[in-house]
Structure 1
Amino acid sequence: MSSSPERRVSRREFDAIFTAVRTWGRWTPADRGAWNRVTADHVRRAAALVRSGTAVPLGLPWDTRTGPDNRKPALHHMTDLGDVEAPEPSTYKDFLAADYHGKAVSHLDALSHVAYEGRLYEGRRAREAVDAGGARFGSVAALGPLVTKGVLLDLPAVLGVDWLEPGRAVHAQDVLTAERALGVTVDAGCAVLLRSGRFRRSRELGPWNSDAASAGFHVDAVPLLAERAVALLGGDGDSDLRPSPVEGVHSPVHALAVAAMGVPLLDNLDLEALSAACAEAGRHEFMLVVAPLDVPGGTGSPVNPVAVL
């Protein structure tokens, strides 16, 4: 596995990668992007991976506490405490809200979430497609539920460490090495989940500002993922390496995956229980079920994906 200092990537090099992995004009409906790859056959093959029936939730708890990794805490308060005297029964209700595009809420990024040089996926002009009323192209409502094969790239398990240190890049060669070590195959229509061990590190050493430093994919891994025709990308971070290796681009993997490839992202998944379940089962492939909220015009959705082994 690579441990060399991270190579900086010029804007010109990045733009060449963006052009090389771009899939604009490939699918109808366009605002489903790479999710169009997932057919009924993919779902049946994913279901065939279920053996023990173990279901592992991947979403984080709803976090209402402020911290270095949660500068905009989610909201939860009660709106009904059973105060109505009649008629029976009494009821108890609550309110939830979140500015979920951050580091503390498990969520899905739809294709309207990221623009590069002012353009969303398919080359749609972001200012024409997204306004104060929401997204008219690439909304999370266009995606619907996704069921497909999930592949856990458990890099700490491969390396024999508890976690990847913040700032550690995952290169294309790391992906290939992990496939061999874990006995998995990243193939067309699958969902790739990268475990860096972020939440184990956070629980043992305390939270930190992962906007400043986090393990994630280097841009040189993206052409391999594009070649393998993945449908979904995610992890216990936000897939991006931080600090960014690309000059002038703070989230290059977001730009490449969402705006160029049409691949939605799953951010901030808790993969610790899944890591343990996969190790116990001796396999790192499973059925993954993702059901975003149907939010017309939404640029994403909080989610609690489920892996079934």
Structure 2
Amino acid sequence: MPLPEGPLPSFDELPSFRNFPGCAWDVWGKDDELGTINLLTKDVVKEAAKEIKLGKTICLNWPINYPKKPLFNRQPPNIQMWRKGEGEGIAVHDDAIHINTQSGSQWDGLRHFGLLEHRIFYNNTPADFFETGSLVKDYPDKVDKDFIKYGIHNWAQHGICGRGVLLDLVRYFTASGDPLPYDPWTTHGIPASVLEDCAKKQGVTFKQGDILLIRIGFMQRYLSSTQEERDSLADKEETMAGIDQGDESKRFLWNNHFAAVASDQPAIERWPPPYPHHLHQTLLALWGMPIGEFFDLEALANACAEAGRYTFFFTSWPLNILGGVASPPNAAVSRAMFIAAALLKFRAGLPVRSQGYGSVKCM
């Protein structure tokens, strides 16, 4: 749908739904199924494409094979390959994939999380509206629109493409040689003031429709742990660092008008949240904002630090599952020309200088 005329309302200008402030249903309209993806207009995507200079790409998806023991009691991936026939002259394979769409790298869709105490999903849709069970019914042109309403296919068919911004909290906290002041695997809330200061120190100015990526440190901790430590995550109550659930965090996320938000941890918000203040409720049920979890941001963080540039063109195409709850993101970024400029100066014997986070900037 077209964006409303004039500036979007601030968080404090949004109406409340019962005891929940910041309801954006009226912003997008009663028939909307895109939520904040509406912000990714043709003009926004076209402007974001200017971030592509060098043409190098970085994958943000963890292999779908992992983790072997998912968190939140989700089913582990099952991937099987077999030979098509036996005997001489047979060189053909098939494979089959059976996954929980939220076991690894993922987008949470609008069917995933509602307002728990009210049993209401996006756009005031009661939980009983949704049929559960098999989503395979008929050919796409014959599917009942209500049966697939608010499914992940809406974002898949639109695409989640635009300017991405990385907030690298790991480097923000450790640039001076200090250790990370929290364990990413323990409950710790990251306030909006830290996210804002990180952006300032990285030289980032947000634009409407940005796709926000936050490196909290979960993946770095995971990759440096033993398999026994990794498996233990699935055998205990989930605790992890993430965005604080207070209204200041909501103001930061809404007032900057991000199209989507993602991080390297499995829940994006501090976990467990102080009940009933799940940030998932506001982002998904009140705003329609995609939540990305378990993104692999390690290679991107290194590239951004090397370039001294934390913006890029981001592209993601969720699986086109009619009525789907969630999906692997199929996400990647394209790096800009800044690295090439620095390397050319270096090779020519011209001065370059470091500027925070171990980055390189041309003088």
Residues 34 and 217 (structure 1), Cα distance of their counterparts in 2 relative to 1, 3 Å cut: same
Which structure: larger Rg? 2
1:161-240 map, 5 Å: 164-165=182-183, 166-206=186-226, 207=230, 208-209=232-233, 212-220=238-246, 221-237=249-265, 238-240=267-269
What whole-Å deviation, never above 9, does each CA across 1:160-179 have from its counterpart, x for those lacking one? Answer: 16654132221110111011
Residues 209 and 16 (structure 1), Cα distance of their counterparts in 2 relative to 1, 3 Å cut: farther
SS in 1 for 2:129: helix
Q: Could you tell me which residue of structure 2 aligns to residue 40 of structure 1? A: 42
**Contact 1:192–1:234 (Cα < 8 Å) also in 2:** yes
Q: Could you tell me which residue of structure 1 aligns to residue 164 of structure 2? A: 150
**Contact 1:133–1:297 (Cα < 8 Å) also in 2:** no
Q: Which runs of 5+ in 2 are unaligned?
A: 1-15, 136-146, 336-363
Q: Could you tell me which residue of structure 2 aligns to residue 6 of structure 1? A: none
Residues 176 and 122 (structure 1), Cα distance of their counterparts in 2 relative to 1, 3 Å cut: same
SS in 2 for 1:178: helix
Q: Could you tell me which residue of structure 2 aligns to residue 277 of structure 1? A: 303
Q: Which runs of 5+ in 1 are unaligned?
A: 1-14
Residues 146 and 65 (structure 1), Cα distance of their counterparts in 2 relative to 1, 3 Å cut: closer
TM-score normalised by structure 1 residue count: 0.85
What whole-Å deviation, never above 9, does each CA across 1:57-89 have from its counterpart, x for those lacking one? Answer: 0111123564374852101011x3142558x66
Q: Could you tell me which residue of structure 2 aligns to residue 4 of structure 1? A: none
**Whole-angstrom distance in 2 between the partners of 1:111 and 1:176:** 27
Q: Could you tell me which residue of structure 1 aligns to residue 340 of structure 2? A: none
Residues 121 and 162 (structure 1), Cα distance of their counterparts in 2 relative to 1, 3 Å cut: farther
Structure 1 counterpart of 2:102, which letter? H
**Whole-angstrom distance in 2 between the partners of 1:18 and 1:61:** 40
TM-score normalised by structure 2 residue count: 0.73
**Contact 1:292–1:301 (Cα < 8 Å) also in 2:** yes
Structure 2 counterpart of 1:61, which letter? P
Percent of aligned pairs with the same amino acid: 23
State the 1:129 CA deviation: 3.0
Equivalent position to 2:272, from 234, 237, 243: 243
**Whole-angstrom distance in 2 between the partners of 1:70 and 1:239:** 14
**Contact 2:262–2:268 (Cα < 8 Å) also in 1:** yes
**Whole-angstrom distance in 1 between the partners of 2:19 and 2:41:** 26
**Whole-angstrom distance in 2 between the partners of 1:178 and 1:189:** 19
Q: Could you tell me which residue of structure 1 aligns to residue 5 of structure 2? A: none
User: How many aligned residue pairs are there?
Assistant: 288
What whole-Å deviation, never above 9, does each CA across 1:168-199 have from its counterpart, x for those lacking one? Answer: 22111011101101111233111111101111
